[in-house]
Amino acid sequence: GDSVTQMEGPVTLSEEAFLTINCTYTATGYPSLFWYVQYPGEGLQLLLKATKADDKGSNKGFEATYRKETTSFHLEKGSVQVSDSAVYFCALSSSNTGNQFYFGTGTSLTVIP
C-alpha cells in the first residue's frame, strides 16, 4: 500500500545552516505530496505541497521538489532560523486511496543560535 518514509530525527542545526530532511514515498498511483509543520504548542499546518512530478513547492524559504524517478520529496532550506524549530511531517494523498492521507513519523528540528 501507499506509504511515506521520513528521515529519522532529531536534527539539531546552528542558525544559518543548510537543512535537508529526506522523504521517500511508495504509491500505486500519482499522489500529491505535502510537508506539514508542527510548531511547539501548536497544531499541524501545511507548509508546502506539490501535485505532480517535477513540481516544486515552496513557502517561508523552504522548498521541496516532487521527484518521480527517485520517489522522493526532500525538504530543504538554505539558511535556517531559530523560529524554524518544529516537527516536520511528510505526507501523501492519492485519489487511488480515496484521498486518504499517509504521514511520515515526523522529524524534530531544533535550531540553536
The footprint of another protein (CB under 8 A) covers: 6, 32, 34, 36, 42-46, 49, 51, 89, 93, 95, 98-106
Q: Tell me how far, at minimum, the Cβ of 91 lies from another protein, in Å.
A: 8
The grid coordinates of residue 101 equal 492521507
Of the pair 45, 79, the CB lying nearest another protein is at 45
First to last CA, the chain: 41
Q: Tell me how far, at minimum, the Cβ of 17 lies from another protein, in Å.
A: 24
Q: Tell me how far, at minimum, the Cβ of 73 lies from another protein, in Å.
A: 13
Of the pair 73, 102, the CB lying nearest another protein is at 102
Identity at 22, one-letter amino acid code: N
Strands (DSSP E) along the chain, which ranges?
3-6, 11-14, 19-21, 23-26, 32-38, 45-50, 56-59, 62-65, 75-77, 86-93, 101-103, 107-112
Of the pair 4, 111, the CB lying nearest another protein is at 4
Of the pair 17, 85, the CB lying nearest another protein is at 85
Q: Tell me how far, at minimum, the Cβ of 28 lies from another protein, in Å.
A: 16
The grid coordinates of residue 99 equal 484521498
**Cell numbers 518521480: residue:** 68
